[in-house]
Structure 1
Amino acid sequence: MLNSVKSFFRLLLISTIFWVLAFVLFTAIRYNGIEEELSLFTDDILYLPISAYYVHAIIVGLIISFFYALIEFIFDRLSRRLVLGLTIILKSIIYFLLVVAVLSGISFLLEVQIDRDLPNERGWWRDDPFFWITVIYFVSASIVFSLIRIANDRLGSGNFIQVLLGSYKKPKEEEHVLMFLDLKDSTKIAENLGHHKYSRFIQDCFLDLNTALYKFEAEVYQYVGDEAVIQWPIKKGFRKNNCINLFFTFQRKLKKREDYYTNTYGVSPEFKAGIHFGKLMVAEVGAVKKDLAFHGDVINTASRIQSLCNRFNKLLLVSESVIERLSISDTHYELLSHDMELKGKEERLKIYAINQR
């Protein structure tokens, strides 16, 4: 619940900044210099309450931003139940009604301030050109906002700005924590369910994983079949033990929904994971399907640590370097191998299993 509240207020903050700026810009485009322009057609001294228009623009931006964030938040939670086309239609209807309501309210407010009767009777918007200009502007701004959110989700929080600035045009060295998360007994489950039902099964598992990502400041680097690669910048990964707490929270989530999985698919999912960290190169790759790619030995090491879970019959394995950075007591982890030689690597590592608190 707390995670959902934080997620909503984060979206509300971003929405408020965007929509206030958007409507201030709209007001500037529409009214800046309008007095000088109208003076060409009359000798009368014209006075328009331009400052009041900007105040109203801020008010509209604040109102729109709250309801926009609320609607987006609700539909994000309903995404697993609604198809994209139906979502777009429903949100479009709601946003249209919202614009009508907000502009009608502002019209009544402005009418009192300037002491002039405005055409704001019922149905006024049907033939009002200003209303339809506002709708077109709102739709255009909404598309821009949605594209920014999609790009930010795709590239990772904060990376969108870095890509815009060209920070990753040349490979850049960074330190990251990597978790390779894999479904246990995936081959057996896939054979029993069949490819169609198995795909829906994996979809449900990763949707449950996604509900915990924001709380632990994690981002998905990529999905590969029934495996997910999760990454953190070094500080976020070890802050409050985020990298291991995400795994245990995900396990508890799956356990809580065990009845759903058993009734729907006849099996309860269990995941295993390997965690390692270190320096790697981050680079912008591709032109047709642009993405950020990680290159470095730390990726191979994390993957091979995860592959040892079956051998030791453990769900979470980490390297010694990870143990040294975590804040956990000795009772919550155990040394499994003093010098484990990983396949294809000359380096030998100490491998630890971490038990849930």
Structure 2
Amino acid sequence: MNRNLKQYIRLLWQSILFWTIVMGLYSIFRYYGIDEEEGFTVIPEYSGNTGTLRALMGFTGIGAMLGFVYASIDFLFDKNTSNKLSLVWDLAIRTLLYFITTILIFTIVMDLFSAIYDLNLDTDRGWWKENKSFWATILYIVLVSFVFSFIKIATEKFGKGVFIKMLLGKYKNPQEEKRIFMFLDLKDSTTIAENLGHFKYSQFIQDCFYDLNKVVPKHDAEIYQYVGDEAVLSWPYKKGLANNNCVDLFFSFQQKKQSKADYYQEKYGVIPEFKAGLHGGELMVTEVGVIKKEIAYHGDVINTSARIQAECNTHKVKLLISEKLLKDLHISKHLSSTFLGSVLLKGKQKEVNIHTIEKKAILT
């Protein structure tokens, strides 16, 4: 299945589930037991368990539709406009689209319920302007949207599953995990920076990492940190091995840059090239900081990954991988590996066997 489709389906079911639950809860908050409150006069259609059930059905249906539409809007924006619009304009346009589609969804559901249950619900043009219940619901949707956005941002910041673990306090004490790390570094960065100047060089790096972010979700990677012109990526060990994610990400990134070669050449006069080092194993992970909390990884795996990447220039290759990690991979038919020898990496007492991986030439 296409990776973009997988990403959309994942976003879709999460959004539909979230909005179905929160709108179902809203119907309970709004209508459950309302006929028993003193001073309230409730029409028969909204009273008792039957009225509550109708409201629950209606609002969960609205929630499912909102989840579908909101997820579709977010997916299209993230794929096509997230690097072209400022944050203010991005939020303004999305909010406007959310609002318009919300009105349409409420109108459809109200018309449907009017026909099924013979209700006299006003859905004439502009009905929502003076409808206080609608505006109360919009306020609830806005508040819940902040919660949804917070969860999404926190998940993107810390990685899938990590945010929940942080909430549960899993990393308050150091935990041992098995992970794969990739150190990805811009080739000839000093020369490029001197030629472009600091302002244009910053734009150049920004564009490179924007393209990197386009391929990261497709290969289940997590971005641990950016350090200048270097990015450090990470995978839980099994996820990194699955479908050769840790290797294929590098070639997907290369392909992405090549597809934009004309853009880079025209704007900066240079097409970026990156070199990468890969290694995996057991290390410690823990939560650090108070004012600014972060997840930190400590262990030989990180140091070895960085030093393997530094060997790329020596061997004049773009991708190096430790033999230990290579043995656990099932290299695809379109890739080939070459043993480059044993090297004593800086700061190490034991030599590490390293290999390079390249794409095979396609015969025509």
Q: Give the TM-score category using the shorter length.
A: over 0.9
Partner of 1:58: 60
Q: Which amino acid aligns with 1:334?
A: T
Partner-residue secondary structure (3-state), 1:23 = helix
Aligned counterparts of 1:270 and 1:41: Cα–Cα separation in 2: 71
Q: Which amino acid aligns with 1:13?
A: W
Give a deviation string over 1:157-199, Cα, whole Å, max 9, x none.
1111111111111111001000000000000001101111111
Partner-residue secondary structure (3-state), 2:85 = coil
Give a deviation string over 1:110-149, Cα, whole Å, max 9, x none.
2233323233322222221101101101111111111111
Aligned counterparts of 1:51 and 1:130: Cα–Cα separation in 2: 18
Q: Which amino acid aligns with 2:65?
A: I
**Is it true that 1:96 corresponds to 2:99 in the alignment?**
yes
- Selected match of 2:338 from 326, 334, 337: 334
Partner of 1:72: 74
Partner-residue secondary structure (3-state), 1:122 = coil
Following TM superposition, by how much is the alpha carbon of 1:329 offset from its aligned partner in structure 2, in angstroms? Answer: 7.9
The 5 Å alignment of 1:74-153 reads 74-77=76-79, 78-153=81-156
Cα distance change, pair 55–309 in 1 and its aligned pair in 2 (3 A): same
Normalising to structure 1: TM-score of the pair? 0.95
Give a deviation string over 1:25-78, Cα, whole Å, max 9, x none.
100100111122268769x99555221111111210111011100111112121
Aligned counterparts of 1:262 and 1:41: Cα–Cα separation in 2: 70
Identity value in percent: 46
Partner of 2:51: 49
Aligned counterparts of 2:197 and 2:65: Cα–Cα separation in 1: 49
**Is it true that 1:309 corresponds to 2:312 in the alignment?**
yes
Aligned counterparts of 1:336 and 1:210: Cα–Cα separation in 2: 30
Aligned counterparts of 1:255 and 1:269: Cα–Cα separation in 2: 9
The 5 Å alignment of 1:183-198 reads 183-198=186-201
Q: Which amino acid aligns with 2:57?
A: V
Partner of 1:234: 237
Following TM superposition, by how much is the alpha carbon of 1:106 offset from its aligned partner in structure 2, in angstroms? Answer: 2.1
Give a deviation string over 1:297-331, Cα, whole Å, max 9, x none.
11111101100111111111111101211223898
Following TM superposition, by how much is the alpha carbon of 1:6 offset from its aligned partner in structure 2, in angstroms? Answer: 1.4
- Selected match of 2:205 from 186, 198, 202: 202
Structure 1 residue runs of 4 or more that deviate by more than 4 Å after TM superposition: 38-42, 44-48
Partner of 1:213: 216
Residues 284 and 299 of structure 2 are in contact (CA less than 8 Å); yes or no, is this contact kept in structure 1?
yes
Measured on the aligned residues, the alpha-carbon RMSD in Å equals: 2.0
Q: Which amino acid aligns with 2:317?
A: K
Partner of 1:350: 353
Aligned counterparts of 1:250 and 1:138: Cα–Cα separation in 2: 38
Aligned counterparts of 1:22 and 1:258: Cα–Cα separation in 2: 45
Partner of 1:10: 10
Aligned counterparts of 2:40 and 2:234: Cα–Cα separation in 1: 61
Partner of 1:275: 278
Aligned pair count? 355
- Selected match of 1:156 from 144, 156, 159: 159
Cα distance change, pair 328–89 in 1 and its aligned pair in 2 (3 A): closer
**Is it true that 1:247 corresponds to 2:250 in the alignment?**
yes
Aligned counterparts of 2:116 and 2:337: Cα–Cα separation in 1: 69
Partner-residue secondary structure (3-state), 2:13 = helix
Cα distance change, pair 33–264 in 1 and its aligned pair in 2 (3 A): same
Aligned counterparts of 1:83 and 1:286: Cα–Cα separation in 2: 31
Aligned counterparts of 2:292 and 2:67: Cα–Cα separation in 1: 31
- Selected match of 2:169 from 153, 166, 170: 166
Give a deviation string over 1:242-277, Cα, whole Å, max 9, x none.
111111111122122211111111001110001111
